Amino acid sequence: MSEPITLNVGGKLYTTSLSTLTSFPDSMLGAMFSGKIPTKKDSQGNCFIDRDGKIFRYILNFLRTSHLDLPEDFQEMGLLRREVDFYQIQPLIEALQEKEVELSKAEKNAMLNITLDQKTQTVHFTVREAPQIYSLSSSNMEVFSAHIFSTSCLFLKLLGSKLYYCFNGNLSSISSYLQDPNHLTLDWVASVEGLPEEEYTRHNLKRLWVVPDNKQINSFQVFVEEVLKIAMSDGFCIDSSHPHTSDFMNNKIIRLIRYK
């Protein structure tokens, strides 16, 4: 075995051998450590690669064993795919494709459960009527909560790509609010006529939008319609042991299932 080499990948140090790094000569690492592509050094003299340090462990382990071993709860497949594409290790690219097909098959049968809640909240705010003239006002607004559970992590990611929070003038995907791969809690409000935009920010009130339709969700009816549309496009159907679609609007629990 060749002498050890220490790599600095995105600030994380790994120690391996030259023979491991060049085990696939046509890869990016094979080219870097055979002298075909110049390498950079950090302040300690270690070879530096400006890529994700955490994900590199799976790349390096594949070079050592020719097996792609991922933990059961691995949730960074998109990031891993980008890193694998960068390093251009063809057998690893093929192994990742096989792993994604395997995960897709495992997720074909799935359950989706949504619990809904709604309440009315009074908001007090100031209205500027003229320069240096303000008046106090108040208004009632509808506040919505949806607790979503799905056995399909991929479906929640799909939902996150369609639903966005509007807050402080910006849209942000609900994906960042995932509690874990299978649970998501949404809290939002309906728009209130006359309520200044800055008051939503001051009261920490988020509104919910569907993209790319740019449609605001101001009621549970619209929310359920949009979620049903997304879920059914992904193969879900209404659980026959629960109310018919026409009765969903009057219920606080929605359950859908998917069999493939």
226-253, pLDDT tens digit by residue?
999 999 998 899 876 665 555 555 558 8
For 12-132, strand residue ranges (E) read 12-17, 40-41, 47-49, 110-130
Q: Flag residues of the chain having pLDDT under 70.
A: 1-2, 104-107, 127, 134, 240-251, 260
Per-residue model confidence (pLDDT) at position 251: 59
Find out whether 253 and 106 touch, Cβ atoms under 8 Å: no
Per-residue model confidence (pLDDT) at position 94: 93
Give the fold, CATH level 3, of 4-88.
Answer: Potassium Channel Kv1.1; Chain A (3.30.710)
Per-residue model confidence (pLDDT) at position 188: 96
Per-residue model confidence (pLDDT) at position 87: 94
Per the DSSP assignment, residues forming a β-bridge with 207 are: 166
Both structure tokens of 143: 């506040």
Q: How far apart are the first and last CA of the chain?
A: 49
Give span(s): CATH 3.30.710.10, the chain: 4-88
Both structure tokens of 104: 């897709």
Per-residue model confidence (pLDDT) at position 22: 93
Per-residue model confidence (pLDDT) at position 148: 94
42-87, pLDDT tens digit by residue?
999 999 999 999 999 999 999 999 999 998 778 788 899 999 999 9
Listing DSSP states for 53-88 in one string gives TTTHHHHHHHHHHS-----TT---HHHHHHHHHHHT
Query: How many Cβ atoms are within 10 Å of 44's Cβ, its own excluded?
Result: 9
